[in-house]
Every structure is written in C-alpha cells, then in structure tokens.
Amino acid sequence: MDSDLRNKRVMVTGGAGFLGTYVVNSLKEQGVSDVLVPLEQEYNLTKMEDIEAAFDAMEPDVVIHLAAKVGGIGANRENPGSFFYDNLMMGVQLMEAARQNGVEKFVSLGTICCYPKFAPIPFREETLWDGYPEETNAPYGLAKKMLLVQGQAYLQEYGFKSIFLMPVNLYGPGDNFDPASSHVIPALLRKFLEAKAAGASKVVVWGSGNPTREFIYVEDAARAIIMATQKYNGSEPVNVGTGDEISILKLAELIAELTGFTGELIWDATKPDGQPRRQLEVSRASQYFGFEAQTGFREGLKRTVEWYQGQMATEQASTHEQGA
C-alpha cells in the first residue's frame, strides 16, 4: 500500500550531499512540504547527543538515512577505520533514536560493498551472507550491512519498521570530483578532461581494466529510494540498480570518447582492481515497489560530462576574473 508522504515530516540525513540533493528535490516536487535536513555543520551524526538534538528540533515521522563517509578504492584503503566507525555509529544510533522517538519508518541505504567478494553473478539478495566482502571496502560494507541486521532485529523485538536498500555505484551531475576521494566515473572523467586541456598524449588508469561494474544514474536512484519509502515495508534487503555491467576498460574508453580525449590509456596493474565483477539481479525492486531504471548509461554519462565541463568553465572564468 502506498504511503502518502505529503503530510509527513521527512528527515533526510545527507540531504545536502550528492544523492541527498536529488532525493530532497524529488520529495519537494512531489508535494512534501516538510523535508528536514540535519546539516553536518550543525549536527555530528556520529554523536548521540547531536542526533537527539536533531530529532528534538525536527520531530520527523520518516527518516531516510543517506549520510555516509564514502570514497573510491584509494579512500577506502587509506581510511578503513574511520569509514567503519563513522558509518556504523551514524546508522546504529540514528535508528535507535528513530525507534525511541516513534518514527513511523526508517529507510537505510546500504551498499553493493555489502556483498561477498566472490558472490555469484548477478548478485542476488539471497547470497548476501555467503562470504566476506572484498577486502579494500569490507570495513565500509560491513558497517552498512549492520543496518540490515539492526532493522530486522528491531522489527522482531519492537515492531519497528525499516527497509534496507543496496544501490550500485551512483553517477551524475553534482558527483564528487575530488581526486582524493572520488569514485571511478568522476575520477576518470576529470583525468581525461584535464589531460585533453593540457594536450597530454596519455592517461594512467588504475588496475588492469578487467573488473566489471554496474552504475545507476543519480536521478534514477533517488526515484527508487522515494518509491521504496512509499511502497515497501518488508524486512528483506533490496538491490537498486540497472542489471547491466561494463568492464572498467570499456568504461574508460567510453568516457575518453565522450570527453574527446584521443590519447593512449596506460593501465597501472600495480594498483588494486577491487571486486572482480559487480552486477545486480534487480527483479526484487521491480516486484516490491515497481522500480526500473530509466536513464541509459551513455546518455547519463553524456549529461555528467556536460555538467562537469560547465563547472570547469565557471571555475576558469572565476580564476580569470580574480587574476585580472
């Protein structure tokens, strides 16, 4: 049964971030007037006293928990402790505070990193506990996975309603393009555009190019989260993706084409590949709350490239004005 969110107070943690901005805007477009975002500058969501203050101030009926400490392979390798602690403490304490404050529904955003390193392709939710996650992102993946355990335990003991969604890698306009922490699409996109601008003849890319990944356009992911919030009340985890995989080699070639970089790609096999393959079985999302991705991968990448080119042009114009 659909839940009408228009008369609900909806808290979106991470609502000022990449995915959160799309979720917040989509909620407002659907007529939800009370969309509440606890900003990082005001509330440290790893601290229970700040979480309690946010609940006291906002009094939410529904919580969509998107806030996370995230990054690509490099960031995961450099920050395993903080990625584990911050994500675990945010999620566990937020759900407990939601329970204590009578929240009607808690939406947990998990991650594809929850899956075992060698899970059968495509990843099916039933195989989630069949092995240990890929080592470079295991601390992050396991911290997020505990929200599934907590939600199921809270349903059993308290009758508390929560759902657990596992999206694949997101991409789109507004993504994180910081080379120290970005995921593969923005990292490659920035590398190619900067190499093109500098007239470079080659670009070095991490790994062998052999692993596969699946990506979902951020607008589609936001739509899936809102549909699940409205329509899904089960305790089983649900994949959110497209069901399509692409090798990192093919991805790099496609991004090079879309950015107009015509130089050579040099693969640095000394850098880690991460999980060998990632592809989701996505029928559960379609069955449980009617979600199917709509944005084609090439079209989504094209929009992302155009957006980032606009950002670069704006930054260059600003730098030129300051230097004038």
For 142-196, what is each residue's pLDDT tens digit?
A: 999 999 999 999 999 999 999 999 999 999 999 999 887 788 999 999 999 999 9
Instruction: Assign domain 5-323 one CATH number from 3.40.50.150, 3.40.50.970, 3.40.630.30, 3.40.50.720.
Output: 3.40.50.720
How far apart CA 158 and CA 93 sit, in angstroms, is 16
Provide the pLDDT for residue 1. Answer: 45
Provide the pLDDT for residue 320. Answer: 61
Catalytic residue from among 22, 140, 154, 217: 140
Q: Compute CA distances 132 → 106, 114, 241, whole Å.
A: 26, 9, 22
The share of the chain scoring above pLDDT 70, in percent, equals: 98
**Which residue, among 185, 163, 191, 236, has the nearest Cα to 72 in the 3D structure?**
185
CA atoms within a 13 Å half-sphere pointing along the CA-CB vector of 232: 27
**Distance linking the first and last C-alpha atoms of the chain:** 60
Going by pLDDT thresholds of 50, 70 and 90, the confidence category of residue 3 is confident
Domain ranges of the chain: 5-323
Q: What is the DSSP letter of 280?
A: B
Active site residue 140: yes
How far apart CA 147 and CA 66 sit, in angstroms, is 12
Provide the pLDDT for residue 127. Answer: 97
How many residues in total does the chain contain?
Answer: 324
272: preceding bond cis by omega (within 30 degrees): no
Q: Compute CA distances 193 → 178, 255, 266, 296, 314, whole Å.
A: 14, 10, 16, 22, 15
pLDDT digits (tens, 9 = 90+) for 219-269: 999 999 999 999 999 999 999 999 999 999 999 999 999 999 999 999 999
How far apart CA 5 and CA 33 sit, in angstroms, is 9
